[in-house]
Structure 1
Amino acid sequence: MISISFYVIIDKNRNTMDTFIMQFIGVPVSGNMLGAIFAFFVVIFGVVVAQVITYMLVHAVRLIYTRNQLDFSLLQSSQELPQLRSPVQFIILLWSLSASLTFFELSEPVLNLCLKTAKVLTYIGFVWLGLRLTSYFQVFFVEKSKKTALKFDDLLAPLLGKVIKVLLIIVGLISVAEILNLPLASLLAGLGIGGIAIAMAAKDTIANIFGSLTVVADRPFSIGDWVKIKDVEGTVEHLGFRSTRVRTFYNSLVSVPNSILLTASVDNMGERRYRRFNTMLSITYDTPVEKIEAFCAGIRELIDLHADTRKDYYLVHLNEFSASSLDILLYVFFQTPTWEAELVARECLMLDCIRLAQKLGIEFAFPTQTLHLNQETVSNSKMASFDSVQKQIANGQKLASNIVKSYRS
């Protein structure tokens, strides 16, 4: 910032400049005309200096991007990076006009008012420039995080940029308040008294901010994770101060208020080490027992030989006598990083099961019903005696014992 001492130095040499300009153009020059002439040249000089400073800043940022293998030109053309020229030109032009004020015949109160205004506008210009530079570094960290294996930095990078922007605005407001000699102590006391009312009115906003801080601290999910939050299910795309954006599987974008994250349970499907596959293989009732056992053993072997299945825990057993089929339980886990990879692994196993069934001559069942139409006849059958029933029971137990001894010993 140009200090007042600068204007004092210029004011002391004003007579010398007046004499030099009068000798140069050959006519007397008034103070205001001298100020206008000087302001014109200073503004031209300021524009040139602003271009040089802008070029240096952009070149430095471009060098940082290039050394980290990021396409600076592509990001700038896609309008992700704002232009630095406007805030730099604003600051330099403001300084140039401030430097020319001493050549105008202004009273001291007017000059002080102009200088104070220039200071306020200068701080606004620096905040403007800081916000745009923060956008540059925010995009840098976001693009850099996309090339790392960690997912947490994808979540933290944009949020950190927003925090820095908020801090810049707060610092700018405090600086402007000091320049204007505003009673900060009284303002803070007033905010303390009115803070309760503000907190009550903005409780949802405050809860959302605390919710975003909770996500950063606890890390329940990262960008790109498949999550379930209450009745919302999809992929996390963005975390902001107010809400978290989730892209659903029917491609809509749902904004979940961060305050919900303080109390709701978050089911992070993306953090699963294994992905469960639970289904029933229904085969026909006329399938021989030995083929059922061979089919189950073959499926177990397929799971052991599959590249993406969990080998230490799986279940393949004849599980249920359904209305129209014998149901074999297939309970297995896949170790895959994404849902698409899980579908590919699941398809591979299912196709192998179909091939195995074809090789063994096993047919898959589908819901059927058989209707028997009989004429009504008078039954002449007699009720079985108690001894006959006991003999049949004993015979069944004997057959069961023989089966266990033959096939399970």
Structure 2
Amino acid sequence: MVRIGVLCAFLFAFFSSHLWAQGTGDWSGRWDTYWRDGEARMLLQQQGGTVSGTYEPGDGRIEARTDGRVLRGSWFQDGTSGPILFALSEEGQSFTGRFVDGEYWNGKKVSETAGANLVSVTRDTPRAAFRSLVYLENAAVYKGDISAGNAAETLLLYAGQPSDERDQRRRRRLLWTLFDLSTFRIYDIPRPVEGETAQFTIGPAAGNFEYNIRFRKLGDAWFVVVPAAAELRRDLDIMVAALGHDTLSQLKEAAAKSPRGAMRDFLQGMRNWRNAGRERALATLDLSFLPPRLYSFEAPLLAEYLKQIIDRAGFVTWQEISDNPNRPGPYVFYRHPAGSVVIEQVPGPNGEPAQWKFTAETLRNAPQLFAEMQELPVADGVFASEPITRFFQIRERIRAVFPALLARPGPLEIWQWLVIPLSAVFAVVLGWLTGKSVSLFLSRSLRRAERGLRVGAARRLGKPTALLVGAGFAVLMFTWTGLAETVLGAVTVVLAATAATALGWLLYTAIDLFGGYFQRRSERTSGFVDEIAVSLVTGVLKIGVAAAGIIAIADITGIPYEGVIAGLGVGGIALAFAARDTVSNLIGGAILMSDRPFHRGDLIETEGQMATVENVGLRSTRMRTFDDSLLVIPNSQLTDKAIVNWGQRRKRKIRLEISLHYDTPRERLDAFKTRLREVYLAQPAADDTTGYVGLRSFGESALNVELWGYFNLADYEDYIAARHHLIGDIVDLARSLDLDFAFPTRTIRILSEGDGKTVDRQKASNPT
């Protein structure tokens, strides 16, 4: 009982504290905050319901109290103050608020390590001051680091006194725009300078505009001078016009489509890889050489190789990269004996405009180039990021646990050499186990199916499954461990092609097995529609799988197949014309399947031929004639001709002609006629709406009585039996009325030669 009480108390305390934290929120920490025309880094500390803190720039102060997730209080700055009202989000990582009515003040919490990679602020030379300013402004503008913006403010010296804080921010923004739209090398700025002032000329990569940066020394520190807003605006307008644009926004849009824009999009996309940055980064890479089937594996790995190379090459300053969208040649960012990092214009697909991208050659050489420079530490100030691919995640773990495995005896690292035999063993074992498991599963799950399907599926599907799983596992291992981007790249391609072949083999076999099963089932039914459908679907699927498999293998191995497909499109017209009879037969089969003019076993008549339908295929229909001959008629001919389907009759006509002697009395003829109709109507299959009986004609040797009606029978065998029974009843009727059936007779008159007398002789002639 004591243990239960302690457990309950613990659970109560845990959930109470959790609910209290959710209800109040935690305001302690560092926050990047924004208002209509400014921003500040805020540091808050919460103690119970009281929250206090400071914010920079401006030497501001916050004092407030919490009310649930709402913070109410005041701000204090430069001898003035005002109210604040902040509301914390549910996850506690952002807030929304106001500092006066109509003026927003929002913020987001930042980690304790934010800004840790910023360069230190140095002012001992003009070059050092300018380098610090550019690095910090890039971090503030392109990474959103408010601390960097605050630090950059300490490097500026405003010409004349700014009218207010808003004028100060405007002048700083205009000056930075001039810097950001220029292309320069910080190394070119003179380091030792005599005197108290200095200047340095910059300008855009395209155009004839130049801008002079002015420096001033105060004590031992150098500062960048910020001119008046009107002067900065004038210089900026001159720059826009010199570059051939009407507005600043047009100039920025054009500059974004340049080597600098490609580098910026790539690095920022890599930094935000898991937050929609993946597409942005990969869009800057020319990955046209990658097979589409391997794109999802290899593209991120190549991107991370390139990122690791750039991080080691040095800290990237955007303004040192050309922003000329019309640059006549490629831009070489980094050069090394093992390979270079080059950005050039790559034509877009389907006639789209060319885009500046990292070249395919750069990406092909990236693994080898990284191997050459991997021992070089990343540059100071580079943003630290977690690995985005399995390869670099594994590699970092190995570095932390057993760094000796990162040595490179030959073209591969030790741990990669170990992966090769392990992958081979696991691939073989896993493939074998999967194949056996699939065979066993099919054998048991199809136990109620026919034996041919069960045994065939268990035996024939196991092998391609084993090959697919084994080759696929090996491809995954080679890709995740980076072996696909080494000298084993060709082996990876072969394995991928093997996996594609195994998949096609598996699908083709499955279609063949189950298509045959349904074909056999359809043959046991009277209808032929299912048989045609199964044959059609099975054939189309087989052709589709075979074609897709060939294209996939060609795509993986890099064999050009687009021209072949285009050629087939042109040659398809001639092929279709040459095979028009075959195509018309296929269409005829589809028409028969749609119209359903007959079923298997029906007796049909077409073009004077009567036969029983045995099978309807895609191209022709097989029938059996009365003399047991096999008749094959193309479907196109069968659909173009009239078809009489005797097998689909709902009734069968019965017409009998009964011959009676000429000497039969009239009353017996009338009685026979009446009783004959009664005998007909008494038949079980007789159609009681018919039954026409009466004297039909004078025959050569008899009076002919006609019976005409219908039997409600569709089957011919049943019709024969019903007719037999009717005729037997007619015979019994004639005997009961003492009537004789007439048969053909002939009278012959013979003239005697001796006495000239004529002798009449009557000779009976049996019609049979």
TM-score using structure 2 length: 0.41
Going from structure 1 to structure 2, the CA distance change for 1:240 and 1:139 (only over 3 Å counts) comes to closer
- Equivalent residue for 1:47, pick from 429, 432, 447: 432
Q: Which residue number corresponds to residue 451 of structure 2?
A: 76
- Equivalent residue for 1:195, pick from 564, 572, 577: 572
Contact 2:659/2:704, CA 8 A, preserved across alignment: yes
Following superposition, the deviation at residue 194 of structure 1 comes to 2.0
Equivalent position amino acid for 1:225 in 2: D
Equivalent position amino acid for 2:658 in 1: L
C-alpha distance in structure 2 between counterparts of 1:48 and 1:175, whole Å: 25
Going from structure 1 to structure 2, the CA distance change for 1:332 and 1:283 (only over 3 Å counts) comes to same
Following superposition, the deviation at residue 40 of structure 1 comes to 6.0
Contact 1:82/1:132, CA 8 A, preserved across alignment: no
Going from structure 1 to structure 2, the CA distance change for 1:38 and 1:270 (only over 3 Å counts) comes to same
Going from structure 1 to structure 2, the CA distance change for 1:288 and 1:372 (only over 3 Å counts) comes to farther
Equivalent position amino acid for 1:363 in 2: D
Q: Which piece of structure 1 moves more, 350-359 or 192-201?
A: 192-201
* 1:362 maps to 2:742: no
* 1:243 maps to 2:620: yes
Going from structure 1 to structure 2, the CA distance change for 1:369 and 1:357 (only over 3 Å counts) comes to same
Q: Which residue number corresponds to residue 540 of structure 2?
A: 167
Equivalent position amino acid for 1:249 in 2: F
C-alpha distance in structure 2 between counterparts of 1:223 and 1:229, whole Å: 16
Question: Per-residue displacement from partner, 1:316-349 (whole Å, max 9, x unpaired)?
Answer: 2211212222221221211113111111111110
Question: Per-residue displacement from partner, 1:355-377 (whole Å, max 9, x unpaired)?
Answer: 11111121222222121224599
Going from structure 1 to structure 2, the CA distance change for 1:60 and 1:132 (only over 3 Å counts) comes to farther
Going from structure 1 to structure 2, the CA distance change for 1:235 and 1:126 (only over 3 Å counts) comes to same
Equivalent position amino acid for 1:60 in 2: S
Equivalent position amino acid for 2:572 in 1: G
C-alpha distance in structure 1 between counterparts of 2:581 and 2:458, whole Å: 35
Going from structure 1 to structure 2, the CA distance change for 1:140 and 1:114 (only over 3 Å counts) comes to same
3-state SS of 1:371 partner: strand
Contact 1:82/1:135, CA 8 A, preserved across alignment: no
- Equivalent residue for 2:442, pick from 48, 57, 65: 57
Following superposition, the deviation at residue 157 of structure 1 comes to 1.6
Higher RCO, Cα 8 Å, sep 6+? 1
Following superposition, the deviation at residue 140 of structure 1 comes to 7.8
3-state SS of 2:719 partner: helix
C-alpha distance in structure 2 between counterparts of 1:326 and 1:81, whole Å: 71
Contact 1:81/1:139, CA 8 A, preserved across alignment: no
Q: Which residue number corresponds to residue 391 of structure 1?
A: none
Q: Which residue number corresponds to residue 219 of structure 1?
A: 596
Going from structure 1 to structure 2, the CA distance change for 1:214 and 1:80 (only over 3 Å counts) comes to farther
C-alpha distance in structure 2 between counterparts of 1:197 and 1:347, whole Å: 61
Structure with higher helix content? 1
Q: Which residue number corresponds to residue 89 of structure 1?
A: 463
* 1:280 maps to 2:660: no
How many residue pairs get matched? 352
Following superposition, the deviation at residue 82 of structure 1 comes to 3.9
C-alpha distance in structure 1 between counterparts of 2:744 and 2:554, whole Å: 84
Equivalent position amino acid for 2:593 in 1: V
Structure with higher strand content? 2
Question: Per-residue displacement from partner, 1:219-254 (whole Å, max 9, x unpaired)?
Answer: 211223221122332222222101112233333332
Q: Which residue number corresponds to residue 119 of structure 1?
A: 499
Q: Which piece of structure 1 moves more, 52-61 or 40-49?
A: 40-49
Following superposition, the deviation at residue 294 of structure 1 comes to 1.6
3-state SS of 1:350 partner: helix
C-alpha distance in structure 2 between counterparts of 1:110 and 1:368, whole Å: 100
- Equivalent residue for 1:108, pick from 476, 482, 488: 488
Following superposition, the deviation at residue 60 of structure 1 comes to 3.3
Following superposition, the deviation at residue 200 of structure 1 comes to 2.5
Contact 1:310/1:335, CA 8 A, preserved across alignment: yes
Structure 1 residues not aligned, in runs of 5+: 20-30, 67-71, 379-409
Structure 2 residues not aligned, in runs of 5+: 1-292, 302-388, 405-415, 757-768
Contact 1:238/1:246, CA 8 A, preserved across alignment: yes
C-alpha distance in structure 1 between counterparts of 2:685 and 2:488, whole Å: 82
C-alpha distance in structure 1 between counterparts of 2:297 and 2:505, whole Å: 19
Following superposition, the deviation at residue 178 of structure 1 comes to 4.1
C-alpha distance in structure 2 between counterparts of 1:257 and 1:178, whole Å: 36
Equivalent position amino acid for 1:265 in 2: A
Contact 1:357/1:363, CA 8 A, preserved across alignment: yes
Going from structure 1 to structure 2, the CA distance change for 1:267 and 1:58 (only over 3 Å counts) comes to farther
C-alpha distance in structure 2 between counterparts of 1:212 and 1:351, whole Å: 46
Question: Per-residue displacement from partner, 1:164-187 (whole Å, max 9, x unpaired)?
Answer: 223322432135314413666644
C-alpha distance in structure 2 between counterparts of 1:369 and 1:81, whole Å: 75
Going from structure 1 to structure 2, the CA distance change for 1:87 and 1:220 (only over 3 Å counts) comes to same
Going from structure 1 to structure 2, the CA distance change for 1:97 and 1:213 (only over 3 Å counts) comes to closer
Q: Which residue number corresponds to residue 131 of structure 1?
A: 511
Equivalent position amino acid for 2:436 in 1: Q
Cα RMSD (Å): 4.0
C-alpha distance in structure 2 between counterparts of 1:253 and 1:76, whole Å: 31
Q: Which residue number corresponds to residue 142 of structure 1?
A: 522
